[in-house]
Chains A and B, each alone.
Chain A
Amino acid sequence: MNLTAQNTAIILDSTSDWPEAAERFPNMRVVPLYVRFGDEMFRDHVDLSPHEFYERLRHVTELPSTSQPTPQDFIDAYTAFAAYERIYVLTVSAKLSGTFQSALLAAEEDGGDRVRVVDTATASMAMAMLALAIQRRLEQGTTDDEIDALVDRFRRDNRVVFTVDTLECLQKGGRIGKAQALAGTILNVKPILSVEDGVIVPIARVRGRQKALQEFGRLFMEGTENRPGLHVSIAHADAPEWVDVLTDLVEKARPQAQIDVVATLGAVVGTHAGPGAVGFFWLQD
């Protein structure tokens, strides 16, 4: 089957932090996860914008919690795309969330083999970048085999580096080993983390924001070449001051790179990463 943007849809979950996907592309849709403050439940990016989330976070003592979409949420999304012959569902790493399970259960309900659920084994902007890479192919006309190959290559080659102000949120949310979170709470250290095989792993540690930026730069320079097809995205949790610096770095060091998305981390990812988190993503396509 020849897959095109007319017969193939892409569904993302909201941890992709790319709510404008549906506005930009009629064949895309975002299924929200949930964030809960006490008794109040919000749909990520729908009922609660990132801005509102960080504002709320400043005034609460208890950290919010998050939960995956229900299978019904995915069934609704599949139904909304009834006219499409093929649906690719891109979910956050199955090792970080049950979203993949919900999407898969919903796909069984949908019946047939119209829906293909992909565990992206990563999170946030990286998922948006995969969606854009698939979309570029759909616009040319592509096949399932080509998309499978792209997904395999994406899992191998996409790189995420991020840093957080405190590991406390990742620890409380159970997204990183306890031991890793304990270390370095007295002095001003910034862990440099990555996502490998679907899990969050520390790859370096530095002191101070300046050194963290340098480390991002070093990892980016080591991992990329200045050639067409290099895609970059930047995400931050209420830390916009990093965006200009990283954008500047990319434009100076890799002028041929294309910056796909620059966005604020939404409530769900923000709950786990905490304010001050910054993520830097790249993919050579």
Chain B
Amino acid sequence: MAELQIERARELARASLANLEANRRRIDDLNVYPVPDGDTGTNLTLTVRAVVEALEKSSAGGQAAVAKELSRAALMGARGNSGVIFSQIVRGFADVLAEHEEIDAAVLSQAFRSASDAAYRAVRRPVEGTMLTVVREMAEEGEKPDVLALPKTEFLRRVVARGEEAVARTPELLAVLKDAGVVDAGGAGLLEITRGLAASAAGEAVPEPVADQPTVGFDAIHLEESRYRYCTVFVVEGEGLDAEELERELEQLGDSLLVVGDASALKIHVHTDDPGAALGLGTRVGAIEGIEIANMQRQAAEREERLEASAAATLDLPTLETGVVVVAAGAGNRRLFESYGATRVIEGGQSMNPSTADIVAAIEATPATEVIVLPNNGNVILSAEQAIGLASKPARVVASRSQQAGLAAMARYVASISADENEAAMTAALADVATGEVVRASRTVELDGIDVRAGAWLGLVDEVAVAAGDDFDEVATAVVERVLGGYRELLTLLTGTEEPDLDVLLARVRSAHPLAEIETHAGGQPHYPLLVFAE
């Protein structure tokens, strides 16, 4: 029986993934924001792929064990807000499945309800017109007496149909969607996952995964600075595997260590100079598979430079009172965070959200009594909050919503004082700072009352559109004026991979604000030619 259950679970998960992947680009394109947002389709795909991989490697017996594995895999693989909410949906769903050997419409109905409740609990301020609405409406459909009476496959068909309606209605509930003329991306993703599941349950064909899409799973897991050469990932299968013991042994070999799984299968991620030794530890306790080894020193020179700056700060230090894990986008911004003493830097941010597991690993690798996580992106805050709950050492999130806010908070960091004191200073910095950005609009839209044409410059201040037009200097000046707000005196400009010419802007600001201190740095962030903040 056990063999059948796990195999069935694999089929269903693969079908969900296939259907989601087939729609991934479409979902990515649903970004309501006229700038490349968190890439909801990609984040959800990575999250579901983590679930599929876990099931592929799992030998869990019995419904309860399979369900537990599902929850854990979704949680550890969760990326971005949508991924984290989805991981809670999986957990809620799996909690109910765990209690039943036979799955019928009644059990599914309970499972959808449990999934919906878990999703709502996961967010502090639930917003309707999102994935939450879609899962709730699906749960409500499943509780209708006539639907409950249907056989499983029919039940799922009705739930999917209701999900479609819910997705289509999201613009009526959320003005930003309506303004942009799109439906909610997270809701659409959830619908495709459920559609794949329903099709597989009914024995129908699901779309083949699209071949030309890059494999993101592996690249994405290794986002973290390492002084070691090889990123090594593999799975050990066996009996009575001791994750902690393996972790202790692997610790001797390198860093960025992640050992996830249960007694029968462990996924290992480690940065080491000796991948052979790491694999050897695996073969000693079980059979290894899914081996991936990547040489991370392709950008060796750049990394050397970074290490020089931070080596003494991160390597020969005794345990710090407070350490900081930051999520940074762009090599220049990374260096700025490091120069401020960031203990661990995870690359990521807009359109490249780190997973919960990435953040957990960074917290674990931080040699500090307590850790503060700066997510530096609105879409990473939830993952960071999940991660601090999973990490084995005390950690807390200071909810910075942008690179700029993160830098303002980071400036206040002192390693030798308590996390309480650091948190208070950082939170005060977040309250003080005004942030802005100048981007190219990716679609024509009316945003916050401003007409934005695709391809034109768009200026945002604290995430609200304030100016748009073809003249970079005009838009940038408007943004800078707003962030200075007539009283702030310290202005910092961070240029992106696309480096705009700042001469005109700087001349204007200097003449209008002779007392302001102005700093310009090459941040190197993608998507945002100019980030600004003022304190």
Contacts and interface: CB of A to CB of B under 8 A. Distances in A.
Interface string A153-182: 000000000000000000000000011101
A210 B313 CA distance: 28
A187 B335 contact: no
The 3 nearest A-B residue pairs measured at CB: A183-B341, A186-B339, A208-B490
Contacts of A208: 489-490, 517, 535
A185 B335 CA distance: 11
A208 B518 CA distance: 10
A189 B411 contact: yes
7 contacts: A182-B313, A184-B411, A186-B339, A205-B411, A205-B412, A206-B411, A210-B489
B313 A179 contact: yes
A188 B519 contact: yes
A179 B489 contact: no
Interface string A136-168: 000000000000000000000000000000000
A197 to B, nearest CB: 13
B490 A210 contact: yes
Interface residues of B, number: 26
A218 B438 CA distance: 35
B313 A202 contact: no
A145 to B, nearest CB: 36
Contact of A189 (B312, B313, B340, B521): B340
A201 interface: yes
A188 B340 contact: no
B57 to A, nearest CB: 41
A187 B336 contact: yes
A28 to B, nearest CB: 36
Given A204-B425, A207-B535, A188 B490 contact: yes
A17 B535 CA distance: 35
Contact of B411 (A179, A182, A202, A207): A207
Contacts of B287: none
B492 interface: yes
Interface centre among A202, A204, A205 (most CB of B within 10 A): A205
B492 A187 contact: yes
A211 interface: yes
Contact of B339 (A187, A203, A204, A211): A187
B336 A186 contact: yes
B519 A187 contact: yes
A179 B414 CA distance: 11
A207 B335 CA distance: 17
Contacts of A178: 312
A203 B411 contact: no
B414 A203 contact: yes
B339 A185 contact: yes
B415 A180 contact: yes
